[in-house]
Amino acid sequence: MNDLEVRQLRYFVAVAEELHFGRAAERLGMAQPPLSRTIRDLERQLGVTLFERTTRQVKLTGAGEVLLRDARTALEAVTAAARRARHAGSAAPRLRIALKADIDGGLLPQILDAYSTDPAALPPDLVLGGFGAQPQAVRDGLADVALVLRPVDDRGLDSEPLLTEQVLVAMAATDPLAARNQLCLADLAGRSLPNGAPADDGRTSSPPPGVTTPASNLSEIFSLVETGSIVFFAPLSVARRNPRPGVAYRPVSDLPNCTLAVAWPHDARSPAVAAFVRAAVEVAHHAHAHAETHMHSGTA
């Protein structure tokens, strides 16, 4: 009934992922026999068989599969604890804000402005990452707070919605479909998407119309859009701030709206995180109240 150790979990995950003791041992930088022994001890300790193994094949049992899931989240929790403690103890702690470039609803400057007036504010660091990487960054303790697009994998996170926006499709102005004012997803079947587009997170969202094409930033994406190589789903605020002659934005009838939200670890207690969340909600509320006229940031 002794407790599990991180080492055991890490070894187990390696074997579960490789389904091969030799390769797993190599990946772990150790020899195969002690790995086999550790897994055997783990099974004894849990009173459960985790792998069905013959000399030719290793596969997970049911219990092994549930442990794989839980072990991963437990390991995440442990490494996050270390990261956050390291960061909290650093001489000049900062607030690390995870977001995807350009996906901030245009609110980021104002949020940072409002946030910086809070006495609890720490200097902000922007942690940029690909689409969908923000929640993981927060979970892993690489960031303290994040701006995310819902729906999102929010295990371990609390979040507060900021604003909901229509999602438009960006396409070449010369595209035949651009002549129409209303499209639906079916019309886009077969078009290429940039990798990591907002509407393409693979979980609850719309079925991807076609293949994806690698592109990392907006200017790359827009060049591809202009040439008609891809189409691209963009929230309204992104579309507004990126008017381009060669690009037409069109609403898509059956594409769900996306919601920008601020997210933080469930158990966050840092005043700086609280201050940022407060600022974000406040700014979003204002922006919403002032409807869609224009917004004065205007402090000095």
Which residues are at the interface with DNA (CB under 7 A)?
Answer: 5, 7, 20-22, 29-34, 36-41, 53-56, 58
Range 53-88 burial, b when 16+ CB lie within 10 A, else e: eeeeebebeeebeebbeebeeeebeeebeeebeebe
Contact 165, 260 (CB under 8 A): yes
Q: What is the DSSP letter of 51?
A: E
174 phi-psi bin (left φ>0, alpha ψ -120 to 50, beta other):
alpha
- Our finding on whether 128 is near its own copies (CB under 8 A) is no
Q: How far is the CB of 49 from DNA (least distance, A)?
A: 10
Q: How far is the CB of 86 from DNA (least distance, A)?
A: 19
| Residue 53, contacted partner among its own copies, DNA, none, CB below 5-8 A by kind | DNA
Q: How far is the CB of 153 from its own copies (least distance, A)?
A: 9
Give the other-Cβ count within 10 Å of 243's Cβ: 8
- Our finding on whether 79 is near its own copies (CB under 8 A) is yes
Site string for its own copies, 26-55 (x = CB under 8 A): --------------------xxxxx-----
**Inter-CA distances, 253 with 145, 178, 181, Å:** 32, 14, 10
**CB closer to DNA out of 29 and 214:** 29
Q: How far is the CB of 108 from DNA (least distance, A)?
A: 43
Instruction: List the beta bridge partners of residue 252.
Output: 183
Do the strands 157-165 and 167-172 form a parallel or antiparallel pair, or are they unpaired? Answer: unpaired
- Our finding on whether 267 is near its own copies (CB under 8 A) is yes
| Residue 101, contacted partner among DNA, its own copies, none, CB below 5-8 A by kind | none
Contact 25, 35 (CB under 8 A): yes
Q: How far is the CB of 277 from its own copies (least distance, A)?
A: 16
Residue 113 to residue 118: CA distance in whole angstroms: 9
| Residue 86, contacted partner among DNA, its own copies, none, CB below 5-8 A by kind | its own copies
**CB closer to DNA out of 58 and 171:** 58
**Interface segment toward its own copies; rule CB under 8 A; list 74-82, 115-123, 173-181, 223-231:** 74-82
Contact 35, 21 (CB under 8 A): yes
Q: How far is the CB of 120 from its own copies (least distance, A)?
A: 13
Q: How far is the CB of 79 from DNA (least distance, A)?
A: 17
Q: Which strand (E) or helix (H) includes residue 236?
A: helix 236-241
| Residue 3, contacted partner among its own copies, DNA, none, CB below 5-8 A by kind | its own copies
**Proportion of the chain in helix, strand, coil states, percent, rounded to 5:** 40, 20, 40
Identified binder of its own copies from the candidate list 37, 40, 59, 86, rule CB under 8 A: 86
Q: What is the DSSP letter of 185?
A: G
Contact positions vs its own copies (CB under 8 A): 3-7, 9-10, 46-50, 61-67, 69-71, 73-74, 77-82, 84-86, 88-90, 141, 155-156, 266-267, 269-270
